[in-house]
A and B are shown apart, each in its own frame.
Chain A
Amino acid sequence: MKKMNNKSILRFLFLGAILTMSYSCSSDDDSDDTVGNWVKKSTFNEEARSSSTAFTIGNIGYMGTGYDGDDYYDDFWSYNMDTNSWQQLSDFPGEVRSAGVSFVINNDGYIGTGYNGDTNEELADFYKYNASTNSWTQIADFGGSARYGAVGFGSTTAGYVGTGFDGSDKKDFWKYDPTSDSWTEVYGFGGDKRKDGVTFTIDNNVYLGTGISNGVYETDFWVFNLDTEVWSQLEDIDEDDDDYVFRSNAVAFTINGKGYVACGDYGGSTDTVYEYNPATEVWKEKTEFELYARRDAVSFNNGERAFVALGRNGTLYLDDNMEFFPTQEQDDDDN
């Protein structure tokens, strides 16, 4: 009996030693190849959730709704990038939900669509958040079918929502006009239908990629010009065999004229980060996200700074908030 115990303890130690060795080796390799540093910021300690919806106005990130594995949420928070602190704001007025979509038109934020697992329903309702009065107003319901996992982006005059899942995967796009409070369909997106894709905006160009349809990760990559409202196809994201940009449920953001796709799901949660340079149209791998790999996170992003928060890894729901510095060397002491 005693012998057995000793043996299994030895086995554990051996396994642990191997794991530790392989772990430290792989992180050494990564830091040699990639640039970028992730720094831990003010975190909801152990208050975890995923599939929340977020947008950013100036230096304030806004985050609300989501799912923690048991409950769906309708609360709404702001994160101040300068003071590194959170504040609870006026509750989201629609029903609780996850995987909604958001966009910003001028200085107003909009959140709508999504999925309410309590009633097992896809949603089409939409709301506008006025940051200067901390209040919500219901606007016209989304023009397309009720859905979740869509993408959304805004210009100075309009908001756009498209793709997603309404029982099947979608590729239609709709434009919201705040002066007439109405939605009209915009045609011309020639890409594949998908859910859980991402967009990032550089100047007047919105880049759309990633996502999944019927278990296949989409590799097509598109740019939408906000002035001309024309979609153009770019080189597929798997054009270079060394790039593994394709994934679903990722986050995307822009820092100083370059686009970033981070984390997400590729047959399991991933922590990889890729940078897109619009001038050269080349993707480059950056330092991986330095905490748990995750999917369904949120990102706060004002074009100069970017934060990635919350999300989940399998059934482990996550609480942290990390800022990304794409040109710094990786530092393991600030996580």
Chain B
Amino acid sequence: MKRIYSYITVFVVISIVTILFYNLQNSTIDKKDVNETVYSLKVKEKDSFWIYEVYNNGALFISQEYIPAVKGKQVFKTKLDAEKIGKLVVNKLEKKMFPKINKDDLNKNNIYYNSI
């Protein structure tokens, strides 16, 4: 009978240690992931149009003055337009995709541009 108790104690101790170990490991991994991919978006007014900036851990990474992908120096006419595309860029970065915007992205978000 005593033997069973000591077996149970050993089992419980091992379980607790294992669970604690995994939790600790997971939490450090989570922290690391978050630290590596902190992207933030700033939408700014410049003259009479809007630009977006993407920051990586607080450092300027992308400063987008023109509507990406389209021909010419076309600008975002509204804050919402710049914000929508900026958010899309951040989403792509967070999914570890290349942060490139194509014309489909612009059309889906109803961004106005001239197709010269």
Contact = CB atoms under 8 A, between A and B. Distances in A.
Identify whether the interface residues of B are mostly helix, strand, loop, or mixed: loop
Interface in A20-53: 42-47, 49
B45 to A, nearest CB: 17
A108 interface: no
Contact of A86 (B62, B66, B72, B97): B62
B44 interface: no
A88 B68 CA distance: 5
B60 A45 contact: no
A88 B71 contact: no
A313 interface: no
B69 interface: yes
A84 B97 CA distance: 21
Interface in B2-58: 36-37, 53, 56
B99 A133 contact: no
A42 B56 CA distance: 9
Nearest to B57: A45
A134 B60 contact: no
A141 to B, nearest CB: 21
Contacts of B73: 133-134
A45 B64 contact: no
B93 interface: yes
B74 to A, nearest CB: 8
A104 to B, nearest CB: 20
B79 interface: no
Given A88-B68, A88-B69, A45 B62 contact: no
B18 to A, nearest CB: 16
A46 B96 contact: yes
A135 interface: yes
B98 A49 contact: yes
B36 A45 contact: yes
A91 B104 CA distance: 13
A90 B60 contact: no
B60 A85 contact: yes
A90 B97 contact: no
A89 B62 contact: no
A301 B68 CA distance: 24
B95 to A, nearest CB: 10
B72 A135 contact: yes
B64 A47 contact: no
A89 B98 contact: no
A134 B69 contact: no
Contacts of B101: 88
Given A86-B61, A87-B62, A87-B66, A45 B71 contact: no
A75 interface: yes
Contacts of A88: 62, 64, 68-69, 99-101
A83 B56 CA distance: 14
A136 interface: yes
B68 A47 contact: no
B102 interface: yes
Nearest to A77: B100
A218 interface: no
Contacts of A42: 56, 59-61
A85 B71 CA distance: 21
Contacts of A134: 66, 71-73
Contact of B93 (A45, A68, A87, A135): A45
B70 interface: yes
19 contacts: A42-B59, A42-B60, A44-B98, A44-B99, A45-B56, A46-B96, A49-B98, A73-B98, A75-B98, A75-B102, A85-B53, A85-B60, A86-B63, A88-B99, A88-B101, A89-B66, A91-B69, A91-B103, A134-B72
Given A42-B56, A47-B97, A91-B70, 8 more contacts: A42-B60, A73-B100, A84-B59, A86-B61, A87-B64, A87-B66, A88-B101, A91-B103
Interface of B: 36-37, 53, 56, 59-66, 68-73, 93, 96-103, 116
Of all A-B residue pairs in the complex, the 7 with the closest CB atoms, nearest first, are A88-B68, A47-B98, A85-B63, A75-B100, A85-B60, A90-B71, A91-B69
